[in-house]
Each structure stands twice: as C-alpha cells, then as structure tokens.
Amino acid sequence: MPATSFSCSFLALQPRFNSYVNPIFRSLTFQLYSSPLPFNAHFSSIRLRCSLSRPAETNSTTGGRSGALTPGPTVGGDVQKIDVNPPKGTRDFPPEDMRLRNWLFNHFKEVSRLYGFEEVDYPVLESEALFTRKAGEEIKDQLYCFEDRGNRRVALRPELTPSLARLVIQKGKSVSLPIKWFTVGQCWRYERMTRGRRREHYQWNMDIIGVPGVMAEAELISSVVTLFKRIGITESDVGFKVSSRKVLQEVLNCYSVPEYLFGKVCVIIDKIEKIPVDEIKKELKAVGLSQEAVQKLLHVLSVKSLAELEERLGSSGEALADLKLLFSLAEKIGFSKWLQFDASVVRGLAYYTGIVFEGFDREGKLRAICGGGRYDNLFSTFGADDIAACGFGFGDAVIVELLKEKGLLPELNLHIDNIVCALDEDLQGCAAMVANILREKGHSVELVLESKPLKWVFKRAARVNAERLVLVGNSEWQRGVVGVKILSTAEQYEVKLDDLK
C-alpha cells in the first residue's frame, strides 16, 4: 500500500511553546496511508495514523544524527521550483559585488594593520545568553535565536563585542594588556529594513582592552578617519557626533534616579532622532523618572557645545574633563574638524559607560555609518573582573551607500595577467603546461579549456581585461616557443618556454 509521510519538528518553535512539550515527544510524524484509488473516488479505504516518536537518534556508526525531516512529496513527478532570491534582508555576492566587498575589507584590514591591531574572529553561532544579559535593549527582540538539537539556546551573533569579551575572559592572563584586536565579521539582526540597514551585514570592529585613558578613544576615532581618507571621504562629507554617558549619569544623579535605570534610560534616549519628543517623554516617565528630571535631562541633551555643557553641569565633572581632553587630542592628531559635540548621543547598547561617538553623513540622508565608545563594565556582566575597554563597529552597508551617493565607488573590473589558448585541440595539454609555468611564477592565468576560434578568444581576453595572450601553435611548439601578444599595444613576439616570464 503506497504511503506518503512527512515529519515536523517543534525544536525551532518559540521557547514558551516548547515548555509545554515533553522533549521525548518533540518529533511528531503523520503517515497517510491510502489505497491506489484515484482522489475523486470514495475515501472509505483511507485511514490516518498519527504516531508520537522520540527525536532522531544519533547514528552510532558515523557519529552523525539522522535527519528529522523527510522530503515533501512531488506532485505528478514535477519538482517544485525554488525561490531564486536570497531570504529577505540578506544578500548574494556575485563577482562584481564580491570585488567591491574585498576592496572595502582590504581597507579595513590595512588600516587596522597601520594602527598595530591583530586580527581575530569568533563563531557566527553563539550562546543566546551572551546577548541577553542586559535588560531593555532593542537587540534582544532582534535576535535570530533557536534551540539546537542538544536543547541549547543559541543565536546568530547580532554584534561582535560580547564575543570579544568572552574570548578575552577565556584567554585570561595568557594575553598581556593592552589588547588591540580587530575583526571583520558577519552579523544578524531581525529588524526593519531601511536604506543601508539589512538583516545580515558585515562589520569591522576595532577594540582596545586595558587602557583607561581617553587616548584609546582618540586612537580609535583616528583610525576611522584614516579609513575615510583612504576611500575618498572628507570632513565635509562625514563627521563624528561625540558625547559621554557620564553626562547622562550626572543629570540622573541630581534627581536620585536609581543606577539600575541607567541602561533603560540610555536605550530610550538613543531613539531621540527616531521618534517624537513626546514619545520620549512618555517612555522616560514610564521607567520611573519624574517630570522635573525628564525636563532637565532633555534640556541638557539639547546642548551642542562643550562651553554650554560646562554652563549647565559645572566644570568639575568627569564627563566634561574627558570630552575636553578628547577634543584637545583631536586637535594635536589632526582630526578635530571631523568632531562635533552632541549631548544627545548615547548609543543604544546598555554596556557603554563613558565617551560615545557616531559617524554620520553631513547631508543627513543615511543612518549612522559607525559607532562606538567606552564599555568599562561589560566584563562583570559575564562574571569576570571588569577591564577598561573601548571599541567601535563599522558596517559595510551604509558606507557603500555613501560612496554611491558621492560618486566614489571604485571601478573594480576583473583583471587577468594572461590568457592562454591552444590553436589545435591536440595541444590542449601543452597549453595547460604553459599556464602552469606562468602560475608558478605568480601570474594569474585563464586557460581556454575548449577548442575555440580566435575571435572568441579575443573577446574573452577583452572581457577579463587580460594583459597578454599566449598562443600555443603546432609549428611554434615544435621549435620550443610560444606566441605572445601584448593586448594593449598589439605587440607580438615569440618566447622560448624557458624564458617565459
């Protein structure tokens, strides 16, 4: 009797649903057994059996786990066509886009090298707890998270800093301070998409661990300015809004606002350019701030100069001292024209503690290009001793949009040193030998793999921007030479195999 079966697993469902389902019964299999009668006949011979079974057991021979899902049936022998678009919010990288990505990433890596940073990386898949230790952050609602087959809660990393902290804690005293690490990694957030904002993106992070002074922040901002200059962005295109979380802390202390509310207030303030001020006021009151505290806080956050901040808060606070020193260092290093003070900048992540900054386009068409700051208290949230730390994240999507806007995208065409072609099918192996000689000398080579007319070969050479065409002909090969044509000048000559460079 023919049977069609399918399995559905509850493992990927929401945790609150999983809690009602005993793990033993998380694999539910329906089997539909039917007689070979056509569907328009009577259904008296059809019976439905529903059975509960354990999850798939580990294969004792291979160490792998047998699949929980069986393929769906085909209809009338037809294979269902797949959607050829990537999942919403994600991207393919065909060759032309991959060239641009590599160009940008190479700049990220070269700037990091110039500033003495070492490259690291972390798993894309991390423990969910790594990103949910701080309450009130928007990021918790944007996690791509699920339960794996070992009943562990895991998540695709939405950012890189918690992974950095985990690795620093893991290495312990085996690494000496200061630590200067960078990475370029893929991140995932399920969020509303706008221009320059996707659900997966790549991010360049640079972090300095073990330096409590403002010189660390100055070094980080200087490195981003260096990147901008390398790719053609100037201070008239981009600036940095700079402030300090300590400004906010000083205002809240004046009104005896409990310390545990600090992170929640920062998350609300970070929305100040995204939602109406009245909504900001409602949310601040909802977390426990008085009407007077809300008014004072918003009044201070409207400040756009250090002189005005000193008038509002006085000259004795740490926030003002840190900011004055940063602007002084920027003057000496040479990037002061890129900076502007803006007290409303607090950044949305709860772990920031001191100076914070955001790169923005001066025309205001795009969201923040990059952002970062000091996070001296992050390590204690993972059960370790706190270490002075600061860093930034720089996404790949917004900067590409800015380069498009400014007409600064580079022309990155495919470039091949040599194209090698056999003029006779019997010489294909000889052409492959010539290609190998050139490759061993460091040249990029495209070998024509089939017998093609010369007209096709020249078109191909033009498409891949080849510098030279190397032709393997019968009479030439018998004399131990090959024909070479410089495509830019049409110069032609013969070269002995031993002299081929």
Asked if 255 and 247 touch (Cβ cutoff 8 Å), the reply is: no
As a whole number, the mean pLDDT across the chain is: 84
15 φ, ψ (degrees, to nearest 5): -55, -40
Binding residues are 159-161, 189, 203, 207, 347, 351-352
Q: Is pLDDT at 13 greater than 50 in this prediction?
A: no
- Of the candidate ranges 68-82, 117-131, 167-181, 423-437, the one whose mean pLDDT is the lowest: 68-82
Q: Which of 141-145, 272-276, 488-492 has the highest mean pLDDT?
A: 488-492
Report strand pairing: 339-341 vs 238-244: parallel
For CA atoms 271, 272, 276, 277, give the dihedral sign. positive
What local confidence, expressed as pLDDT, does residue 56 receive? Answer: 41
What local confidence, expressed as pLDDT, does residue 264 receive? Answer: 80
- DSSP-derived letter for residue 58 is B
Cβ atoms within 10 Å of 340's Cβ, excluding its own: 16
Asked if 126 and 382 touch (Cβ cutoff 8 Å), the reply is: no
292: confidence class by pLDDT, cuts 50, 70, 90:
confident
Asked if 239 and 111 touch (Cβ cutoff 8 Å), the reply is: no
Q: For residues 339 and 355, give the distance between their C-alpha atoms in angstroms, rounded to a whole number.
A: 13
- Of the candidate ranges 262-271, 301-310, 378-387, 401-410, the one whose mean pLDDT is the lowest: 262-271
- Average pLDDT rounded to a whole number, residues 21-32: 36
77: confidence class by pLDDT, cuts 50, 70, 90:
low
What local confidence, expressed as pLDDT, does residue 250 receive? Answer: 85
What local confidence, expressed as pLDDT, does residue 8 receive? Answer: 37
Q: For residues 201 and 188, give the distance between their C-alpha atoms in angstroms, rounded to a whole number.
A: 7
Per-residue pLDDT tens digits for 221-256 = 999 999 999 999 999 999 999 999 998 888 888 777
Beta pairing partners, 187 = 201
Per-residue pLDDT tens digits for 331-355 = 999 999 999 999 888 886 778 899 9
Q: For residues 107 and 370, give the distance between their C-alpha atoms in angstroms, rounded to a whole number.
A: 15
What local confidence, expressed as pLDDT, does residue 302 receive? Answer: 86
Helices assigned H by DSSP within 214-274: 215-230, 245-254, 262-269
50: confidence class by pLDDT, cuts 50, 70, 90:
very low
Q: For residues 348 and 138, give the distance between their C-alpha atoms in angstroms, rounded to a whole number.
A: 8
Per-residue pLDDT tens digits for 375-423 = 999 999 899 999 999 999 999 999 999 999 999 999 999 999 999 999 9
Binding residues for L-histidine are 159-161, 189, 203, 207, 347, 351-352
Q: For residues 166 and 200, give the distance between their C-alpha atoms in angstroms, rounded to a whole number.
A: 22
55: confidence class by pLDDT, cuts 50, 70, 90:
very low
Nearest 5 degrees, angle CA 178-CA 180-CA 184? 160
Q: For residues 126 and 460, give the distance between their C-alpha atoms in angstroms, rounded to a whole number.
A: 45
Q: Give the DSSP H/E element, type plus range, for residue 420.
A: strand 418-422
Nearest 5 degrees, angle CA 217-CA 220-CA 225? 125
